[in-house]
């Protein structure tokens, strides 16, 4: 489905085939055709595998075998390294599921060829499109059960569970496997973030079809090629809030210090009127989802509240950098933020300016204004 979405978005199948020839693997062929899924036109790419002839027992490839194939390829360094990372995560997930060392974990040979084509074909297509980064929505796992070489397993498959730890997931639609371990490995390694569509301009779209065509459900993987405005950063954030009306206000300073030390992006207090007309404080914390649990524990431990609420949010921020500028008062750090080419903001670091004001005896206001003027002149 990844290959189908890429071809549907404008990647010639011949480009993917040419890229895959740089891997020393044979025994497969690619074909693409247009199909309809629930009334939507899509591209279906089929990977036809030739049955290998071997002696008794199933042929398989270990991580050592696959790693040797990748190293022997003539792929671009970046593609080879990312493919190596995807395969490593796949083998490590399988090893954890089966309780065996990675060196003893194997993929059946036909499955290994299929994975090599899917993974490196996808990376080749992304390179052709000039993709800088990959963003994904919450991953739909499906439901029910699926038949594997190990027998019937619940959906999501155990290896898929391992690969998607820490990634937003959900289950909706018909009861069958909607995300395979290979798909999960590609998503978990290539994606730099998960969540809703960011602020952007769509330049191309593609839909990749799967084998199944359940009634009333479009079994498709949709791909959007987008451009974001230079200087804009689309970020997912978690907001944590709690109302407090029974705590010594002197404690808030310490609580805020602890929260910032633990990785909060922002912490602020808002005066509110609570039940029975009691004056209170709304404590709000902005953070990455990964820091949520640690920050909630600090709030529950250090304040009088007995509960918090939290929700996911999106924010757009200007790109920024912190640089040191020489001024007639000494070096002062200045934060420069930009949105496109026309909107630029410069803000002297307050603590640096305060230090220079103490050293020179000049008003802090004059120091800030002079640093801003100097930074503006030197940046032109």
Distance in angstroms (rounded) separating the CA atoms of residues 86 and 79 = 11
**pLDDT at residue 234, rounded to an integer:** 67
Contact 239, 310 (CB under 8 A): yes
Output the pLDDT for position 258: 96
Interatomic CA distance for residues 283 and 9, integer angstroms: 46
pLDDT at 58: 44
| pLDDT for the residue numbered 323 | 83
Q: What is the pLDDT of residue 338?
A: 78
Buried b (16+ CB within 10 A) or exposed e, 263-273: ebbebeeeeee
Task: Show the domains of the chain with their CATH numbers.
Answer: 2-228 (no CATH), 233-307 (3.30.70.1380), 318-378 (no CATH)
* pLDDT of 263 over the 80 cut: yes
pLDDT digits (tens, 9 = 90+) for 296-306: 999 999 999 99
Give the Cα separation of 84 and 190 in Å (integer): 12
pLDDT at site 313: 85
pLDDT exceeds 70 at position 291: yes
For residues 34 and 154, the model is more confident at 34
Radius of gyration of the chain (CA): 27
ω before 156 within 30° of 0 (cis)? yes
pLDDT of residue 245: 94
32 contact partners, CB below 8 Å, separation of at least 6: 4, 7, 13, 43, 44, 45, 46
pTM: 0.67
Predicted confidence band at 145 (pLDDT cuts at 50, 70, 90)?
A: confident
Question: Residue 288 burial (CB < 10 Å; 0-12/13-18/19+)?
Answer: middle
pLDDT score for 57: 41
Strand 139-140 relative to strand 169-170, pairing: parallel
Lowest mean pLDDT of 60-74, 102-116, 173-187, name the range: 102-116
pLDDT one-digit tens code per residue, 299-330: 999 999 999 999 988 777 777 788 888 888 88
Q: How confident is the model at residue 144 (pLDDT cuts 50, 70, 90)?
A: confident
């Amino acid at each position: 489905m990844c290959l189908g979405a890429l071809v549907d978005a404008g990647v010639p199948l011949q480009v993917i085939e040419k890229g895959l020839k740089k891997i020393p693997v044979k025994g497969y062929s690619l074909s693409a055709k247009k199909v309809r899924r629930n009334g939507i036109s899509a591209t279906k790419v089929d990977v036809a595998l030739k049955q290998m002839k071997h002696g008794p027992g199933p042929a398989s490839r270990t991580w050592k075998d696959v790693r040797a194939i990748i190293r022997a390829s003539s792929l671009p360094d970046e593609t080879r390294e990312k493919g190596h990372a995807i395969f490593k995560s796949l083998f490590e997930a399988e090893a954890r599921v089966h309780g065996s060392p990675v060196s003893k974990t194997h993929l059946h040979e036909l499955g290994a060829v299929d994975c090599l084509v899917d993974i490196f074909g996808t990376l080749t297509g992304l390179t052709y499109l000039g993709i800088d980064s990959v963003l994904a929505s919450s991953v739909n796992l499906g439901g029910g059960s699926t038949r594997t070489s190990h027998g019937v397993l619940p959906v999501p498959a155990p290896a898929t569970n391992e690969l998607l730890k820490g990634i937003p997931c959900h289950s909706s639609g018909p009861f069958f496997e909607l995300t395979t371990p290979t798909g999960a490995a590609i998503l978990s390694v290539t994606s730099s973030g998960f969540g809703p569509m960011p602020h952007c301009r769509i330049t191309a779209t593609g839909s990749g079809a799967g084998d199944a065509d359940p009634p009333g459900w479009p079994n498709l993987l949709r791909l959007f090629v987008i451009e974001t405005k230079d200087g804009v950063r689309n970020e997912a954030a978690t907001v944590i809030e709690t109302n407090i009306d029974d705590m010594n206000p002197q404690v808030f300073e310490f609580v805020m210090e602890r929260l910032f030390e633990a990785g909060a992006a922002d912490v602020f207090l808002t005066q509110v009127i609570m039940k029975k007309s009691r004056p209170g404080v709304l404590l709000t914390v902005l953070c990455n989802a990964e820091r949520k649990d640690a920050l909630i524990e600090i709030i529950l431990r250090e304040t009088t509240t007995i509960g918090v609420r939290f929700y996911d949010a999106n924010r757009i921020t200007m790109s920024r950098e912190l640089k040191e500028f020489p001024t007639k008062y000494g070096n002062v750090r200045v934060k420069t933020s930009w949105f496109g080419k026309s909107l630029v903001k410069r803000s002297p670091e307050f603590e640096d300016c305060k230090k220079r004001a103490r050293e020179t005896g000049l008003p802090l206001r004059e120091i800030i204004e002079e640093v801003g003027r100097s930074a503006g002149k030197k940046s032109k």
